[in-house]
Amino acid sequence: MKVLVINCGSSSLKYQLIDSESENVLAKGLCERIGIDGRLTHKPTGKDKVEIEAPMPDHTAAVSLVLQHLTDPVCGVISSLSEIGAVGHRVVHGGEKFAASTLLTDEVLEQIEKCNELAPLHNPANLIGIDACKKLMPGVPQVGVFDTAFHQTMPKKAFLYGLPIEYYEKYAVRRYGFHGTSHSYVSKRAAEILGKKPEDLKVIVCHLGNGASVCAVKNGKSVDTSMGLTPLEGLIMGTRSGDLDPAILEFVAGKTGMSLSEVLTVLNKKSGVLGMSGVSSDFRDLDAAVKEGNQKAKDALDTYYYRVAKYIGAYVAAMNGVDVICFTAGAGENDAHLRKSICEYLGYLGVEIDDEKNACRGEERVITTDDSKVKVMIVPTNEELAIARDTVALV
Ligand code: ADP
């Protein structure tokens, strides 16, 4: 079956068409500036890339353009839309209602809408994408795959905050965690590569991209993760602060005259390694700045590495041990210096990095020495493939 995977943001839409039997990507691409002017980048496998400026007043227009390109005689990869057997959608927040992927019936869509207030930047956009696909591909099954679902196995002690309990009971304020599709895929793939069953392993997955989170996966199940009610908690990220003393919000608002919501925008968009260094949110730029002697960039990276190492330590405690630590996502997969710097804190676990094995980018491999007590691995994430697999399983 051919599965169209859709990841819809407020002004962008990423897509992949995947053949579920071979698991090959037939085409992938990106619509940007939806509602502004519109730009499409379409990459059909084995054919030339197409980049066009085209009006995209809304998401329906964007999906329509994607479908036209997928079926185009020159840059297309299928002869008609009837070849698309199902559509898998990334949905950011499933609240406590969704512990697994699900077919998107009208009733399910209503329930997702109720989660909108938990992810006001993401969920409404996801729903618009689903609506557009339903309109343009009536009768084709649509599946929702939730970023939060994998973490629904967390025990209460891991997901409750130290707040008056009625905030949880009345308003569902708790840790949900995100990147679940990636943590699930990477932990299972690591077990597969090692020839072990996920049920027999304690794995810590470090998903270090623009957004970043760590997850403790015990016997195949998420038992704790660093993001919380929203994706702001936990690690220092590209532009997000991660953990901080909540009293800082009022203090900074008082000093700067900003409103609470303006301070939150700073925490989400102008903090992290970008805010700390004043250079960039991209680790490649920061590495270059450090080489040129930029002290703030060095401090930002040192603080970033240290925070990741502290979370790893916390999750070793949460699981009473660890067998495998995995690095994934943009920086985790590609930045050898970052992996090495984080693992330098893990000598007490018996982690020994093999520099030759670590000197690589984006390859599935073990990067510790044969004697290392804990294995450290690079496992490139593939959220689209995971979404396609779940979609096929449900239809
Ligand atoms: P997201 O999906 O969250 O947008 P990615 O997982 O694609 O993010 O990660 C993007 C980030 O990965 C970039 O901002 C950059 O910091 C980092 N990155 C990508 N390639 C490299 C590289 N070769 N070396 C270091 N960092 C890299």
Quick check: is 157 in a domain? no
Q: Which of 123, 146, 169 is the last residue of a domain?
A: 146
pTM of the predicted protein model? 0.95
Most ligand 1 atoms within 8 A of CB, residue of 7, 284, 340, 342 to mutate? 284
Q: What's the angle, vertex CA 231, arms to CA 228 and CA 235, rounded to 5?
A: 80
What whole-number distance in Å separates Cα of residue 72 and Cα of residue 78?
Answer: 8
Examine the domain organization and report whether 87 and 8 are in the same domain.
yes
Return the residue whose CA atom lies nearest to atom 7 of ligand 1. Answer: 330
Claim to verify: residue 372 and residue 293 sit in the same structural domain:
yes
| Domain contains 385 | no
Most ligand 1 atoms within 8 A of CB, residue of 334, 337, 387 to mutate? 334
Is there a domain that residue 239 lies in?
yes
Whether 147 is catalytic: yes
Q: Is residue 41 part of a domain?
A: yes
The count of residues in the chain is: 395
Structural domain contains residue 184: no
- 179 close to 384: Cβ distance less than 8 angstroms: no
Separation between Cα atoms, residue 364 and residue 362, nearest integer Å: 7
Contacts of range 42-47, beta carbons closer than 8 Å, 24 or more positions apart: 42/66, 42/69, 42/75, 44/69, 44/75, 44/76, 44/77, 45/77, 47/74, 47/75, 47/77
Please report the pLDDT score of residue 80 as a whole number: 94
Q: In whole angstroms, what is the distance from residue 143 CA to residue 126 CA? A: 12
Q: Do 131 and 203 share a domain, yes or no?
A: no
Cα(310)–Cα(315) distance, integer angstroms: 9
Please identify which of the residues 37, 147, 323, 371 carries the catalytic annotation: 147
DSSP at 71: T
Which is it for strands 84-91 and 24-32: parallel, antiparallel or unpaired?
unpaired
Together in a domain, 103 and 212: no
* Domains contained in the chain, number: 2
Give the pLDDT of residue 121. Answer: 80
**Do 220 and 361 have their domain in common?**
yes
Nearest CA to ligand 1 atom 15: 282
CA-CA distance, 21 to 6, in Å (whole number)?
Answer: 19
Cα-to-centroid distance, 199 and ligand 1 (Å): 30
Could you tell me the distance, in angstroms and rounded to a whole number, from the CA of residue 40 to the centre of ligand 1? 21
* CA 314 vs CA 2, 216, 225, 317, 322: distances in Å: 41, 9, 10, 5, 11
Per-residue model confidence as pLDDT tens digits over 196-241: 999 999 999 999 999 999 999 999 999 999 999 999 999 999 999 9
Q: Is residue 391 part of a domain?
A: no
Q: How far is the CA of 206 from the centre of ligand 1 (A)?
A: 13
pLDDT at residue 74, as a whole number: 96
Give the residue numbers spanning the domain of 317. 196-378
Q: What CATH number should be reported for the domain holding residue 78? A: 3.30.420.40
pLDDT of residue 117: 87
Index of the ligand 1 atom closest to the CA of residue 361: 23
360 with 288, same domain? yes
Instruction: Report which ligand 1 atom has the smallest distance to the Cα of 238.
Output: 14
Helix or strand or coil: residue 5?
strand
Question: What's the 208 CA to ligand 1 centre distance in angstroms?
Answer: 8
For the CA of 329, the nearest atom of ligand 1: 6
89 and 220 part of one domain: no
- Give the pLDDT score at 219: 98
Burial 351-380 (b: 16+ CB within 10 A, else e): bbbbeebbeeeeeeebbbeeebebbbbbbb
User: Strand pairing of 202-208 and 324-328?
Assistant: parallel
The answer on 122 and 234 residing in a single domain is no
Distance from residue 211's CA to the centre of ligand 1 (Å): 9
* CA 287 to ligand 1: nearest atom: 25
Distances in whole angstroms, Cα of residue 174 to Cα of each of 135, 158, 192, 233, 234: 35, 9, 32, 12, 14
DSSP E strands: which ranges in 121-185?
A: 142-146
Q: In the chain, which stretches have pLDDT less than 70?
A: none
The beta strands (E) that lie in 121-280 are given as: 142-146, 202-208, 212-218, 221-225
CA of 140 to the centre of ligand 1 (A): 34
Quick: pLDDT tens for 330-340: 999 999 999 99
Contacts of 47 (CB under 8 A, 6+ apart): 74, 75, 77
Within a domain: 182:
no
User: Residues 259, 372: one domain?
Assistant: yes
The answer on 107 and 203 residing in a single domain is no
SS3 88: strand
Do residues 274 and 352 share a domain? yes
What single string gives the DSSP state of each residue in 12-35? -EEEEEEETTTTEEEEEEEEESTT
Cβ-based neighbour number of residue 306 at 10 Å: 14
Return the pLDDT at 369. Answer: 98
Residue (of 146, 188, 226, 148) closest to 379 by Cα position: 188
Q: Is residue 172 part of a domain?
A: no
Asked if 6 and 135 sit in the same domain, the reply is: yes
Find the residues whose C-beta lies inside 6 A of ligand 1.
Answer: 209-211, 238, 281-284, 329-331, 334-335, 361
Look at residues 146, 175, 210 and tell me which one is the last residue of a structural domain: 146
Residue at a domain's end among 146, 168, 184:
146
